[in-house]
Structure 1
Amino acid sequence: MTRTSGLVFLLLAAQIPASQTLTSTGKEFIVVFPENIAYYHPSSPENKIWITALHDGTVITISPPPAEGSPQNLIAGETKSFTMTQELGKHNYLNSTPFEVFSISDKTINITSSKDVVVQAISIKKRSVQSALVIPADKLSMKYFLPPVPEIEGTTDQGVLVVNVTERGPFRLIIINPSKDTVKVAIKGGDEISGVIQSGKVAQIWVTNTSTPQFVEADKPVAVFFSHPCATRYDCTCGLLHAMLPPAKNRTMKFPVPPVLAEQASILLSDQQFRGYESFKSYSAVVQSAGTAILYQPSLLLTLIPEEEFGSCFVVPFIENKKNFLIIMVHKEHKDGIHIGKVPLNNADWQELKGTDYVSTNLSTSFPNTFVWHNSSTMAVYFVGNENNTWFGNPAPVVSVTPGKEAHSVLNSYRFLDRLIHILMGAL
């Protein structure tokens, strides 16, 4: 990161209220890396955590310590990656009915920060690549709806699960307890399954494949992920599928679907009344749910962003040696005002989202730690990547949800910064 880009991010961060509940920023996080492909596969995974600081003098502590050491000091706008060896590994099922067993692990990673940061995670093993946004502990929930299990040829299409063959095994829920106390957790909606998770630990439990609406309910906030270590893909390969579940909503919301990912995709929907699939419709690029809405492709589970949770500023990571993209969806009347770093987004190839007032564009990126912002409106931004014609990605972390005066102040800060740079350069 250059000195100039650091100054830009510092000026941007200065405009961001610390109390925004819909942002991805926080001071405490807990991270897990799920089994990628199979625990017995001879290759070792490359598991990394990215941490982006929003303020100077940010002190990061990671436990257990990564190879890079802990604590670490970051400046505003700096993103640093850390290599981790913790991985959940095999899901132990004992001799009981598969859907009645909690598999408990202490292979969690705790991150604490002196000031607000954004945390993302990536796992790479051979051709299997997945990334995930990590939600701060204070923004988690106590209720999550379970999506339906996608129909995957070679994994879920035979009707009989084989628990000792990874690619034929069931999908699993990964439930993390970030609390300092033990949490009581139950899977409800069918035959109730319950258990306890101690502080800082994680449970894995297999998911039943029924159309009955089901949900996770806990007596304290938890994080919940939907995952399969080695779902079948193209060319007789398999790879990790992994996505965070959004908290249950108390109202129905609309989820615009990115057109670039919609072809051959299905949308996994689940709320209090419905658990099932919805194929992408050529005449309507939006789905509705009061719970979970996840886009599924053979290599991708992408948690969709509802209209009510659009943001005005995002951090987009960059993975070396992969094809990196960002997808932007915005109201068709607000295409102007979008910036990639300091540079306004001009001459983008916009695509209409049928049945909505939104348009979408996807841009390849070649710069690390890009931030994307709008000076007068909100939008949805996704980070996606491509590896050997398979997708991976996640919703881009939200740094700010408030445009308007705040964004105009940021824009003025850029103009001031440009003048300041010219003055300083002239003095050298």
Structure 2
Amino acid sequence: MFVILLFASTLSQGLAIVSYGDSFITAFPENVGYFYPFTSRSLRVTALHQDTSFTIFYNYTTITKSNLQRGSTTTMSFPKTAEVHELNYSTNSIRITSTKNVVVHSLSHSDTGPIQEKNIQTTVIQPITNLGTNYLIPPLNHSGLIQTFGGSPAPFPFKRYSSFKLIIINAEDTENTITLVWNVSACVQEEKFKIPSYQLIQIQANDSILMVKSSHKVAVILTHPCLENTVCKCNMIVNQILPVRFQGQNFVVPYIPGITQSRLLMTSNVKSASLSHNNVQLKPSPSGFLSLSDQTKSQYVNASVGVSLRLISPGLFIELIPENMFAACYVLQFYSDIRYALVIAETSSKNNVHTQRDHITSAQWTEITGTKYSSTIISLTESQTFIWHSSSKIAVYILENSGTAVYGGPAIPISDQPDEFGCVVIPGQFEVGNDRLSWAESLAHCTSFHKQLACPTTEDIQMDLANAVNTTKDEEAWIGLRRSLMTTDWYWQRHTPSTTSLPSSDFFHWADGQPLDQWKGLCASLSLDRVDAFKWKSAKCCEKKRPVCYKRPIVLNVLTPGVTENFSQGLI
């Protein structure tokens, strides 16, 4: 029944390759109605580095918060007047700048009534680096959406509540020329106007708007303050649209328990774009929605060209993560007490998924037919956490429960580089030493500088090392691989938080004819010549070679709630 959509909360989380930065701009869309007094608005700012400061600019007032530590969060509350409820221009944009990278999360909700009737909406604020000048608008028709899920249009007293809206925010300190591209009676038309520095405009939106183009970067938010029905329940929708460059062709459509009906909505600037499942092209409904025949499991779909894809259901409005935008680490921010994460990982390495410092050991994984992926849903207790993979990229969605419905969206990606040490905020660094030393001396040399001998245990790490060294020197350098005198097996000698030596993985990069007999070489070096593809050789440990040291990355350890402050106290 469509009534579920009307009072179930909707969540639309982050989606870009990384969603951190040092400059953001956003706005609070109208929640429920401008006449409804009991709503709250807040921003969560989470620091990724030590000694971070940030400043919020709103309504000619600035507030600065200093000395945030890595993983700590500050929540800033805003007054009702911060909401954008009028159509037309507004100065209600909110800018955030920081001295180091942060992530920013937004919450809007009503404060009265039982939880299942509260109007809750959260979204990740994309950094300005992720914004663009070309946006495709999903063809959402208000009445078509209602009818798709078995409802009937309610008698709306105001036109403003009978359609979606677009908030377009000028992200730069210069006048911005905006071009709206419309499809009117099968004829493409353009409408141009200008937005002053850092200001915004809100306009009515429907399935006739095709594209937003701009002369400078803008943020574009699709919103509906209150999808109503005859029993006066309503549901807020917010989706920060991503620029065209973030499209993809391959998607895993996640199965979400408790969702009995869902549709896909595809957006593309190619008129002939199509979506297929198991080599069968999906046919759109008159309202443009696409259906999967089996909605009881996660499934893999392919687009003929780059598209954006949204999963829509009563209580859900999720922009799906394309396969080319899977990441290695995600931050998860929750607002309810019933918290889940849906994780999609490669089946061969699904046991390398972690939440904060711990392996996910008790998860029940389900293979996704016809793919290399499996999916699982895990229950979480923390209101803030992160999930990461040590060797490959994954997709992570947040799921929450209002008591009567499940809602969710993509988590916040903050690193696309898998690493065995954790959720990376500053990548590790390789460095070739100047002095020629024995293998043991090289190990001691690296350790003395709080580093370790390089250990390229996977093909990705080997490629990172090769890209970092990138020389044509006709010589060799030591890496942290040697043979055991007891078993003659090769193993990695390194310093990690839990151990000093670990067995070798299945990955090796030996040169032809290598390794030599154990008595001719117990230690391993690599060529510093890219012509030789940085291949490995066995060598006598007493030989003098330059060490390749590795400085471990800076990683998140834990996310900690910080202070909650009221921004309105600083308003003039």
Q: TM-score normalised to the size of structure 1?
A: 0.80
Q: Structure 1 residue 88: deviation in Å?
A: 3.1
**Structure 2 counterpart of 1:313:** 329
Q: Structure 1 residue 405: deviation in Å?
A: 6.5
Q: Structure 1 residue 407: deviation in Å?
A: 5.2
- Name which of 34, 39, 48 aligns with 1:54: 48
**Structure 2 counterpart of 1:278:** 290
Quick check: 1:375 aligned with 2:390? yes
Q: Is the 8 A contact 1:351 1:360 kept in 2?
A: yes
Supply the distance in 2 between the matched residues of 1:247 and 1:141 (Cα, whole angstroms): 5
**Structure 1 counterpart of 2:19:** 24
**Structure 1 counterpart of 2:352:** 337
Change (3 A) 1:385 1:67: farther
**Structure 2 counterpart of 1:140:** 131
What is the DSSP-based 3-state SS (H/G/I as helix, E as strand, rest coil) of the residue aligned with 1:347?
A: coil
Where do residues 9-408 of structure 1 align in structure 2 (5 Å cutoff)? 22-43=17-38, 45-64=39-58, 70-85=64-79, 86-92=81-87, 103-125=88-110, 126=112, 127-149=118-140, 151-153=144-146, 164=158, 168-190=161-183, 191-210=189-208, 214-232=210-228, 236-249=232-245, 252-260=248-256, 263-274=260-271, 276-282=288-294, 284-286=299-301, 288=303, 290-319=306-335, 321-404=336-419
Q: Structure 1 residue 74: deviation in Å?
A: 0.6
Supply the distance in 1 between the matched residues of 2:210 and 2:178 (Cα, whole angstroms): 13
What is the DSSP-based 3-state SS (H/G/I as helix, E as strand, rest coil) of the residue aligned with 1:70?
A: strand
Supply the distance in 2 between the matched residues of 1:115 and 1:89 (Cα, whole angstroms): 29
Supply the distance in 1 between the matched residues of 2:403 and 2:363 (Cα, whole angstroms): 26
Supply the distance in 2 between the matched residues of 1:80 and 1:152 (Cα, whole angstroms): 37
Deviations 1:39-96 (A, max 9, x none): 11242x111111111111101111239999533331011122111225334233xxxx
Q: Is the 8 A contact 2:248 2:323 kept in 1?
A: no
Change (3 A) 1:412 1:66: farther
Q: Structure 1 residue 236: deviation in Å?
A: 4.8
Q: Is the 8 A contact 1:282 1:354 kept in 2?
A: no
Q: Structure 2: which amino acid aligns with 1:248?
A: V
Change (3 A) 1:214 1:412: farther
Q: Structure 1 residue 296: deviation in Å?
A: 1.3
Q: Structure 1 residue 231: deviation in Å?
A: 1.5
Supply the distance in 2 between the matched residues of 1:408 and 1:27 (Cα, whole angstroms): 19
Deviations 1:269-319 (A, max 9, x none): 111124932123428443536232111122321111111111101111122
Q: Is the 8 A contact 1:188 1:215 kept in 2?
A: yes
Q: Is the 8 A contact 2:41 2:78 kept in 1?
A: yes
How many pairs does the alignment contain?
382
What is the DSSP-based 3-state SS (H/G/I as helix, E as strand, rest coil) of the residue aligned with 2:135?
A: strand
Supply the distance in 1 between the matched residues of 2:403 and 2:370 (Cα, whole angstroms): 32
Task: In structure 1, list runs of 5 or more residues that go unmatched.
Answer: 1-20, 93-102, 418-428
Q: Structure 1 residue 233: deviation in Å?
A: 7.0
Counting aligned pairs with the same residue, the percent is 27
Which stretch has the larger CA shift, 27-36 or 324-333? 324-333
Q: Structure 2: which amino acid aligns with 1:208?
A: N
Q: Is the 8 A contact 2:154 2:228 kept in 1?
A: no
Change (3 A) 1:38 1:65: closer
Deviations 1:219-240 (A, max 9, x none): 1111112111111479651110
Q: Is the 8 A contact 1:148 1:277 kept in 2?
A: no
Q: Structure 1 residue 334: deviation in Å?
A: 2.1
Kindly name which structure, 1 or 2, has the bigger radius of gyration based on alpha carbons.
2
Q: Is the 8 A contact 2:138 2:207 kept in 1?
A: no
Deviations 1:235-278 (A, max 9, x none): 65111011111221387521211111664111111111249321
Change (3 A) 1:264 1:219: same
Q: TM-score normalised to the size of structure 2?
A: 0.61
Change (3 A) 1:270 1:389: same
Change (3 A) 1:163 1:140: farther
Supply the distance in 1 between the matched residues of 2:423 and 2:198 (Cα, whole angstroms): 41
